[in-house]
Structure 1
Amino acid sequence: MKIAIIGANGKAGRVLLEELAGRGHALTAIVRNAARTNHETVLEKDAFALSKDDLSGFDVVINAFGAAPGQEQQHVELGQHLIKQLQGTRTRLLVVGGAGSLYVDPEQTIQLADTPEFPDAYLPTAKNQAKNLEDLQQTTDLHWTFISPAAFFDPDGERTGQYQLAHDVLTLNSAGESYVSYRDYAVAVADEVEHHRHDQQRISIVSK
Structure 2
Amino acid sequence: MKIAVIAANGKAGQLIVKEAQAAGHEVTAIVRGENRSAATNVITRDIMDITAEDLAGFDAVVDAFGTVTPETLPLHTKSVAHLGDVLAGSDARLYVVGGAGSMVVDDKGTKLLETPEFPDMFVPLASAQSEQLDYLRTRGDFNWTFVSPAAEFDAEGERTGAFEIIESDAFTVDANGNNEISYADYAVGMVALIEAGSNNHKRVNIRH
Which residue matches 2:69? 69
SS at 2:113's partner residue? helix
Q: Structure 2: how far apart are the matches of 1:84 and 1:126?
A: 24
* Alpha-carbon distance, 1:137 to partner: 1.0
Which residue matches 2:80? 79
Q: Structure 1: how far apart are the matches of 2:124 and 2:156?
A: 24
- Structure 1: which 5+ runs fail to align? none
Which residue matches 1:177? 178
Count of paired positions:
206
Q: Structure 2: how far apart are the matches of 1:197 and 1:108?
A: 28
Which residue matches 2:91? 90
Q: 1:84-130 deviations in whole A, cap 9, x for unaligned?
A: 1111111110000000000111x251000111121122112111111
* Kept after mapping to 2: 8 A contact 1:34/1:42: no
Q: 1:50-96 deviations in whole A, cap 9, x for unaligned?
A: 01111112111100001142211111110111111111111110000
Residue 4 in structure 1 maps to residue 7 in structure 2: no
Q: Structure 1: how far apart are the matches of 2:100 and 2:3?
A: 24
TM (normalized to structure 1)? 0.95
* Kept after mapping to 2: 8 A contact 1:91/1:143: yes
Q: Structure 2: how far apart are the matches of 1:201 and 1:189?
A: 14
Q: Structure 2: how far apart are the matches of 1:108 and 1:134?
A: 17
Which residue matches 1:158? 158
* Kept after mapping to 2: 8 A contact 1:92/1:142: yes
* Kept after mapping to 2: 8 A contact 1:155/1:182: yes
SS at 1:34's partner residue? coil
Identity of aligned residues (%): 42
CA RMSD across the alignment: 1.2
SS at 2:205's partner residue? strand
Seen in structure 2, the aligned counterparts of structure 1 residues 39 and 94 have a Cα distance that, compared at 3 Å, is same
Residue 194 in structure 1 maps to residue 180 in structure 2: no
Q: Structure 2: how far apart are the matches of 1:92 and 1:98?
A: 19
* Kept after mapping to 1: 8 A contact 2:14/2:38: no
Q: Structure 1: how far apart are the matches of 2:136 and 2:121?
A: 25
Greater mean alpha carbon deviation, residues 167-176 or residues 23-32? 167-176
Which residue matches 2:100? 99
SS at 1:29's partner residue? strand
Correspondence list, 1:105-116, <5 A: 105=106, 107=107, 109-116=109-116
Which residue matches 1:45? 45
SS at 1:30's partner residue? strand
- Structure 2: which 5+ runs fail to align? none
Q: Structure 2: how far apart are the matches of 1:164 and 1:194?
A: 15
SS at 2:99's partner residue? coil
* Alpha-carbon distance, 1:133 to partner: 0.8
* Kept after mapping to 2: 8 A contact 1:171/1:206: no
Seen in structure 2, the aligned counterparts of structure 1 residues 126 and 36 have a Cα distance that, compared at 3 Å, is same
* Alpha-carbon distance, 1:141 to partner: 2.2
* Kept after mapping to 2: 8 A contact 1:108/1:169: no
* Alpha-carbon distance, 1:35 to partner: 4.6
* Kept after mapping to 2: 8 A contact 1:8/1:64: yes
* Alpha-carbon distance, 1:164 to partner: 2.0
